[in-house]
Amino acid sequence: MLLICEWSKIGIPDEDAKIYWILSYMQTGSAKTWCDYIVALMYKGQQSFSTSDELLKEIDRKFGDTDKRTTQSLKIRTIQLGDRSADEHVQEFEKAALEAGYKEYPLVVEFKCSLNSGLRRRLTELWPMPMTIQQWYDETITMDHQWKVARTEESFHGKVNGTVRKPPQHGQQGQGQGQEQASSLQQGYQ
């Protein structure tokens, strides 16, 4: 657990007040049970932390992640874009990758797996295809933004005209292909 605080800015005057302030945030589950136990011992004079740093170390020992790198590795393997924006997804993925120690190609593989299948397919069809993890991040965000703009425009034009317009036909393209493209655009990246 990492708690960084400038006590003077929030007006907590002494170590005892800091300790009670920290304990006040332990409100659910096993943390609350442990907190209640510690507070009861403190009232009886049987348990005492002389500094808030001691308390934070004990909280970290009791409730902290003992293997953060493995936890982040598992997070990278299970994280999915879902309905979030690509910006949010990339930020969360970058944080987990940094903490897990993943680098370049293995990171690219895991990032590709985290994307929705339609978006992943469109990205792998790019020429040239992204090669570095930063290129994958950038192209994913760009394509997500483009898709949102297209969806917004489609929604707007459909409301103005009362119908959803089909994309224009190009060259020798048959009627079925045009409908297939419109359906694909409407479905997005899911």
Sign of CA dihedral 176, 122, 109, 65: negative
Cα distances (angstroms) measured from residue 148 to each of 16, 86, 145:
52, 11, 5
Under 8 Å between Cβ of 52 and 19: yes
Produce one character per residue of 109-128: b if its CB has 16 or more CB atoms within 10 Å, e if not.
Answer: ebbeebbbeebbebbeeeee
Q: What does the pLDDT look like over 110-134, one tens digit per residue?
A: 999 999 999 999 999 999 999 999 9
Check: CB of residue 100 under 8 Å from CB of residue 73: yes
Q: Is the pTM of this model over 0.75?
A: no
Query: Is the pLDDT reported for residue 14 higher than 60?
Result: yes
Min mean pLDDT across 7-11, 147-151, 157-161 is at 7-11
35-60: b (≥16 Cβ within 10 Å) or e: beebbeebeeeeeebeebeebbeebe
What is the C-alpha to C-alpha distance for residues 179 and 15, in angstroms, rounded to an integer?
Answer: 69
Average pLDDT, the chain: 82
pLDDT at residue 181, as a whole number:
46
**What is the DSSP secondary-structure string of 115-142?**
S-HHHHHHHHTSSSPP-SHHHHHHHHHH
